[in-house]
Structure 1
């Protein structure tokens, strides 16, 4: 049987303890538009056909019954990580902006392929990255 194709990553998730602090950070500091607000999750528009799910840690372990079917429970512990892609010519602007908002840049990396990354944390300690191409062979621009 031929393997069907994967079209990309639709959702990325992090788990947080303080939903209000997470919303202030993701909406006000990073400028993401919240599409869904519930007790156990917020969903943000993270780019064309891309969604960031912010789950309330400890409130997602049980299955959730919906009219359309069952959403299996899930959870994680510790700090998560994900990266936003940005244009190379926006790296300096992002660095300055993060500094102005009091967001501590914890690391910067220049990758062998030539891309660059800025690392920082959200209020719950999740490690976020702003990355410019080229970084991975499939991330050219």
Structure 2
């Protein structure tokens, strides 16, 4: 059997305060699909995002007591227009995010900005005129000719 390997099914973010993290993502308009006392899950297009306490995540990874940071990772949301990017950035700041870089025209021909959620996880909000989005907001990269 050949397993598809170019996929991500679940992204788990380690958080310091689960209630604060839940409130932040709820303020962005995200609805929890499943939750327990120790985690919260959000259904995304074809995958899920989980919020999990940092100490519990380290233990689950077999690294109990390890100091988990946010790593060199950026999560990104693509939008149809620059105005949508500006609105998403403003909504994140109003929900408690920290601005890292206000949305602006960027060298690759698009428009993007960055913020950090209350636990320091970095999000990019972007408009890429070269990558059209489906009506549901999902992204399919163009196939090279």
**Is 1:40–1:60's contact at 8 Å kept on the other side of the alignment?**
no
Give the one of 82, 88, 91 matched to 1:94.
88
- Counterpart in 2 of 1:36? 34
1:55 partner SS: strand
Q: Which runs of 5+ in 1 are unaligned?
A: 64-71
Tell me the matched-pair count: 128
* TM-score, reference length from structure 1: 0.69
* TM-score, reference length from structure 2: 0.68
Deviation at 1:94, TM superposition (A): 2.2
- Counterpart in 1 of 2:14? 15
Higher strand share: 1
* 1:26-53 Cα deviation digits (max 9, x unpaired): 111x11110111233211123x212111
- Counterpart in 2 of 1:114? 109
* 1:78-125 Cα deviation digits (max 9, x unpaired): 124322222234123224434555644211464443222221111112
For residues 41 and 18 of structure 2, what CA distance do their matches in structure 1 show?
A: 12
Higher helix share: 2
After TM superposition, the structure 1 = structure 2 runs for residues 65-76 of structure 1, keeping only pairs within 5 Å, are none
For residues 120 and 93 of structure 2, what CA distance do their matches in structure 1 show?
A: 17
